[in-house]
Amino acid sequence: MPRDPDRTRAKILAAAVTEFAANGYAGSRIDRIAARAGANKRMIYHHFGGKQDVFEAVLADRLTTESATEDLVRLWMHEALERGDGDIVGLAERRRLAVAQVESVRTAQGEGALPNDLDPSFLAMARLALDVFPLAFPQLVRVYGDNGATSNEFREAWTGFLQDWYKPRERSRAKPRLKLDRDGVARAATRPGQPRRP
Amino acid sequence: MPRDPDRTRAKILAAAVTEFAANGYAGSRIDRIAARAGANKRMIYHHFGGKQDVFEAVLADRLTTESATEDLVRLWMHEALERGDGDIVGLAERRRLAVAQVESVRTAQGEGALPNDLDPSFLAMARLALDVFPLAFPQLVRVYGDNGATSNEFREAWTGFLQDWYKPRERSRAKPRLKLDRDGVARAATRPGQPRRP
DNA sequence: CGTTGGAGTAACTAATTAGTTACTTTGTCC
DNA sequence: GGACAAAGTAACTAATTAGTTACTCCAACG
């Protein structure tokens, strides 16, 4: 197989994304990244420098996406835990995306799909917070209800709830989506219109 | 100084809370916990078992509180990253607290302080999500605006925004709290009524 | 061609770290 | 008062792991 430094670098980066998303900085292993990339460990130092540099490269590569996927949210969490809000990697690019999202909120407000008397920047952040929460804190979802955060039941119920909240004027029938059982524990009701398989 | 196993155990646990909140599981060091506790490392194994057991003891001890503090949120993040939503420690106690919070949401709905046509369980979770977000993802707050998540400016603006959103009927004047500067980057305006020191 | 420098490999090192061993001290109960 | 178990200490071990050394290989360029 022919040499191809760019491909090697890319394979290492991809392996590092997986490793760091799964294990965080301290929990990640250079050897494991090398193994998964099918590359020699020495190549990581050759192409990136050191562990810290690989981590930063991962952040720079993957920290900006339209929709919040599980891997991305985990990287955000690791970023926050390791680095706080100082020295944000790829800030300019990320701001550009944020501004675009604020813009789309503004449009939605114009169309009556979102409350138009709230600040669009904060509203965009709030939407992000509510989207990210179940991915970031699945155990808290389980504390408030029985359905796992990744289950279809929960996802649909949560999306429905958010839509009702976002569009306060048009609250149609919107009756409780959860009911409490005898122990006072929340349980998702099947969504209306959702076929239940027998 | 007299022997006091309970006190030793408590000191170790307190040191472990700090260590794990700061560094997560993989990043935490048994030696550091021992040093901070002023105890011998061996005592950690004596009183708890192993590193994993100390971690679980920390989770059980600190995972339930009324208000979300920074340490608690960091522990929640580490818990989610390390353990996902399986095998939740102290589930019963945490559910009890969640139910109480849902109850207080229900009361607030009755008083008109919260929209009364939304499911109280989901509304309680949403409030938690919005409270926790700035503590969990300070870097994203910085992407959407200039004020740090811990600054008074941000905290007050965020609280104000949430109150306006929670009480949709009584939206008073509520004009944008953020304005975009020439780069399209959000900036918090000083809150009305907030004295600005010269 | 041949030489030069980046790409790649294998084996090593130095440090760190969870967990243990083998021991001493202390309080308590008879 | 002495026996016994729990509380505590210091030094050790075995494994892991980031980073290095000292090489070989290959391709392009003159």
- pLDDT tens for residues A88-121? 999 999 999 999 999 999 999 999 899 988 999 9
Instruction: Compare CB distances from B178 to A122, A145, A177 and report the shortest one's residue.
Output: A122
Q: Would residue A193 count as lying in a domain?
A: no
Last residue of a domain, one of A66, A83, A100: A83
Tell me how close the Cα of A2 comes to any Cα of chain B, in angstroms: 38
Of chain A, the percentage scoring pLDDT greater than 70 comes to 84
pLDDT higher than threshold 90 for residue A19: yes
Residue A72 domain flag: yes
Q: Which nucleotides of C are covered by protein (CB under 7 A)?
A: 6-11, 17-22, 26-27
Concatenated DSSP letters of chain B: ----HHHHHHHHHHHHHHHHHHHHHHH--HHHHHHHHTS-HHHHHHHT-SHHHHHHHHHHHHS--SS--HHHHHHHHHHHHHHTTSS-TTHHHHHHHHHHHHHHHHHHHHTTSS-TTS-HHHHHHHHHHHHHHHHH-HHHHHHH-SS-TTSHHHHHHHHHHHHHHH-GGG--S---SEEE-TTS-EEEPPPTT-PPP-
Residue A197 lies in a domain: no
Query: Separation of CA A53 and C1' D27 in angstroms?
Result: 28
Note whether B102 contacts A27, CB cutoff 8 Å: no
Residue that the structure tokens 């138009």 belong to: A116
A112 beta carbon < 7 A from strand D? no
For residues A32 and A57, membership in a common domain is answered with: yes
Q: What pLDDT does A149 receive?
A: 96
- Is there a domain that residue B98 lies in? no
CATH of the domain at A53: 1.10.357.10
Task: Say whether pLDDT at A20 is over 50.
Answer: yes
Q: Is residue B172 part of a domain?
A: yes
Give CA–CA dist A180/A160, Å, rounded: 18
Let me know whether A76 and A121 are in one domain.
no
Same domain membership, residue A175 and residue A96: yes
- Which tops the pLDDT comparison, A81 or A181? A81
Q: What is the pLDDT of residue B1?
A: 61
pLDDT mean over A3-10? 89
Instruction: Find the range with the poorest average confidence among A20-29, A160-169, B22-31, B49-58.
Output: A160-169
Q: What is the pLDDT, as a whole number, of residue A170?
A: 45
How far apart are the CA of A7 and the nearest CA of chain B, in angstroms?
30
Evaluate if the CB of A26 falls below 7 Å from strand D. no
Q: Which range (A56-60, A139-143, A169-173) has the least confidence?
A: A169-173
Domain boundary among A83, A104, A135: A83
List the single range of A6-20, A38-52, A164-178, B82-96 with lowest mean pLDDT.
A164-178
User: Would you state the pLDDT for residue A38?
Assistant: 93
Closest residue to B171, CB basis, from A117, A126, A144: A117
Distance B86 CA to D16 C1' (A): 28
| pLDDT confidence tier of residue A31, bands split at 50, 70 and 90 | very high
Q: Do A108 and A174 have their domain in common?
A: yes
Residue A103 and residue A172 share a domain: yes
Which residues of chain A does B145 touch, with a Cβ-Cβ cutoff of 8 Å? 121
- Provide the shortest C-alpha distance from residue B2 to chain A (in Å): 38
pLDDT band at A167 (very low <50, low <70, confident <90, very high): confident
Spatial neighbors of B27 by CB under 8 A, at least 6 apart, are: A24, A25, A26, A27
Model confidence at A28, pLDDT cuts 50, 70, 90, reads: very high
- Let me know if residue A43 belongs to a domain: yes
pLDDT, residue B184, reads: 42
pLDDT top residue among A67 and A163:
A163
- In total, how many domains does chain B have? 2
Work out the pLDDT band at A194, boundaries 50, 70, 90: very low
Distance CA B105, CA B99 (A): 10
> For A182, which residue in chain B has the nearest alpha carbon?
B99
A120 and A159 share one domain: yes
Same domain for A47 and A102: no
Residues A79 and A109 in one domain: no
Long-range contacts of A165-169 (CB under 8 A, 24+ apart): A165/B115, A165/B118, A165/B123, A165/B126, A166/A113, A166/A114, A166/A115, A166/A127, A167/A112, A167/A113, A167/A114, A168/A115, A168/B115, A168/B168, A169/A112
Say yes or no: A173 and A106 in one domain: yes
**Are B139 and A83 within 8 A, CB to CB?**
yes
**Same-domain pairing of A77 and A97:** no
For residue B121, being part of any structural domain is answered with no
**Whose CB is within 7 A of strand C?**
A 3-5, 8, 39-43, 46; B 2-3, 28-31, 41-42, 45, 50-52
Last residue of a domain, one of A61, A83, A105: A83
Q: Is the CB of A113 under 7 A from strand D?
A: no
Domain hosting residue A157, numbered range: 92-188
B155 located within any domain: yes
**Testing the interface with B: which of A28, A79, A125 to mutate, by most B Cβ within 10 A?**
A125
Give pLDDT tens digits along chain B (198 positions). Answer: 678 889 999 999 999 999 999 999 999 999 999 999 999 999 999 999 999 999 999 999 987 777 789 999 999 999 999 999 989 999 999 999 999 999 999 999 999 899 988 999 999 999 999 999 999 999 999 999 999 999 999 999 999 999 999 885 544 444 444 444 434 444 443 333 223 332
- Mark whether A79 and A165 lie in a shared domain: no
A169 and A97 fall within a common domain:
yes
Say which CATH number the domain at B46 has: 1.10.10.60
